Amino acid sequence: MKFILSWLWNIKLHNKILLGLLLGAFFGAWLNVSKYELIFQFKVDGKEQTVKIEKWDRIDVIDIQNRNVLATFGKDDQLKLLNYFQSLSKPEKTKLVFIVTKITANDPAKESTQEFQDINKIEKVKTIPLYIKPIGTLFIRLLTFIAIPLVLASLIVGASSLGNIRTVGKIGAKMMLFYFCLIAIAITIGLTLANTIRPGDRLSTEAREKLLVEFSPNIQAKIAESVDLNVINTIVNIVPTNPIAAMANAEMLQIVFFALMVGITLTMIRKEKSEPVIRFFDGFSDMMIRMVEIIMKLAPIGVFALISATVSEFGFDILQTLFWYALTLIIGLTIHQFIVLGLTVKIFAGMNPIKFFRGIRDVMLISFTSSSSAATLPVNMECCEVNLGVPKKITSFVLPLGATINMDGTSMYQAVAAVFIAQVYGVELHLSEQLIILLTALLASIGTAPVPGVGIIMLIIVLRSVNIPEEGIALILGVDRFLDMCRTVVNTSGDAAVATCIAKSEGVLNNKIVHTA
């Protein structure tokens, strides 16, 4: 026991995180949330009561007054029932009776029933992983709170050391070129795979109906959240009217703009005035980086808690139903991650792809578990600086912008999802429409906030652009959590690749770094 503990203590951090991930996945799969159990919370004589219902054969919902059956749910309809219950208003709930019927196995004619009235809550039975999820959430919140002050401080220092607007403009132009090319390549890979594998044609009509019934109630809020793309507005909005508000609202592009202005203007005032300011922000950003290192010590536990909760909640059968769709996207993401990004760092930074991927191991693991480019940003900055030798003045400029703009994984996902939904609905997409998808997915991924689950909201814009029914997102909602984890890895790795290439092109990449802790 002592030996195991000391071995665990001494293994490297990224291996500990990986271990946390694998153990979390097993733990979550072992203690998964049952599809055949529900908790009913109801009132009897004004007193709250809770009952666990398991393995029902049928649940009928009837009107309390005229005993008319309003809805019936079978033994596999847990999600359908939960959605139905959520859609009811409070007064409606009081007018219903839920009758749970179980058929005795050895005598099908014999039915046992239980009646429930005045139900105020129906939920799935929580498992241990769901109880420990807050530990994971805590870890992600710790990383997220670092992102904004870190970006601000290090970019002010970075921009002041870049010296002038010309250098910033040159690096900015190169960065945008890289980002746009990588996104366009990602979308093209996605479109090619989706048109070749044709996952939408492989979805049976029954599966389609089931998905639409189960997930339709959840999509209205998402549709309501989506706003139309407006390029001019997006550009105008880059300039904040109030930088403090920009920070408070985590408006990354606005913060970057403000920090750049501050950094550049610092080079235009007298040295004795600018130096203390730069030194302050320099010390501040070093302190934040140190904080990332401390927080990362919690990563194995945080990752374990998050993954076990996700796996426990996630129904694997949905992955079976949407197998071809998920597979198409995963093949595309793998090609982009390891071939396209690998070749990019090889060609443009002269870096061995193995060294690159070893250097960003923590970035990949944290993006996978957090599904958030923003939460991963501090880790990405640290890994690029410490493991890949990209100087702070490049990481602080390229990575925050990349986290917001460069979403190779999300853009590929939007293209694959759009074609998949079109195929399911039998909408023919011609080359011109596929080009529109390419363009809107490119813009939509730029507009996607670097936090979990936003990609699917921006997908609605892509669907609208080529008249694919937007309700179609109900088809893919069930696997979105998992695919979000995968696409976020590609998003953040793409940023790291571009930062490395730009550092090389500026002649500031420290290729001698061998430390890959």
Site of interaction with ligand ASP (CB under 6 A): 371-373, 407, 410, 448, 450-455, 484, 487-488, 491
CB-wise, 182 or 454, nearer to ligand ASP?
Answer: 454
Closest among 354, 349, 384 to 501, alpha carbons compared: 349
- Least distance in angstroms from the C-beta of 308 to ligand ASP: 20
CB-wise, 373 or 387, nearer to ligand ASP?
Answer: 373
Closest among 146, 167, 390 to 263, alpha carbons compared: 167
Q: CA–CA separation, 391 vs 65, rounded Å?
A: 73
Q: Contact 509/500 with Cβ under 8 angstroms?
A: yes
Which residues make beta-bridge pairs with 71?
61
- Least distance in angstroms from the C-beta of 61 to ligand ASP: 35
Which residues make beta-bridge pairs with 119?
42
- Least distance in angstroms from the C-beta of 495 to ligand ASP: 10
- Least distance in angstroms from the C-beta of 484 to ligand ASP: 5
CB-wise, 59 or 148, nearer to ligand ASP?
Answer: 148
Q: Which amino acid is located at 427 in the chain? A: V
Q: Contact 474/216 with Cβ under 8 angstroms?
A: yes
Q: How far is CA 93 from CA 85, 183, 440, in A?
A: 8, 48, 42
CB-wise, 361 or 487, nearer to ligand ASP?
Answer: 487
Q: CA–CA separation, 395 vs 16, rounded Å?
A: 26
- Least distance in angstroms from the C-beta of 369 to ligand ASP: 12
CB-wise, 470 or 484, nearer to ligand ASP?
Answer: 484
Closest among 494, 473, 453 to 371, alpha carbons compared: 453
Q: What's the distance, CA 150 to chain centroid?
A: 21
Q: Which amino acid is located at 18 in the chain? A: L
- Least distance in angstroms from the C-beta of 416 to ligand ASP: 12
CB atoms within 10 A of CB 174: 17
Q: Contact 32/311 with Cβ under 8 angstroms?
A: yes
CB-wise, 100 or 412, nearer to ligand ASP?
Answer: 412
- Least distance in angstroms from the C-beta of 403 to ligand ASP: 7
Tell me the backbone φ, ψ of residue 70, rounded to 5 degrees: -95, -30
CB-wise, 342 or 450, nearer to ligand ASP?
Answer: 450
Tokens 């076990």: give the residue. 308
- Least distance in angstroms from the C-beta of 448 to ligand ASP: 5
- Least distance in angstroms from the C-beta of 371 to ligand ASP: 5
3-state SS class at 184: helix
CB-wise, 254 or 380, nearer to ligand ASP?
Answer: 380
Please report the DSSP string for 107-158 in residue order: -TT-EEEEEEESEEEEEPPP-HHHHHHHHHHHHHHHHHHHHHHHHHHHHHHH
> Two tokens at 325?
């769709």
CB-wise, 400 or 455, nearer to ligand ASP?
Answer: 455
CB-wise, 159 or 384, nearer to ligand ASP?
Answer: 384
Q: Contact 306/133 with Cβ under 8 angstroms?
A: yes
Give residue number: closest CB to ligand ASP. Answer: 455
Task: Describe the crossing of helices 299-313 and 13-30 by its angle, rounded to 10 degrees.
Answer: 20
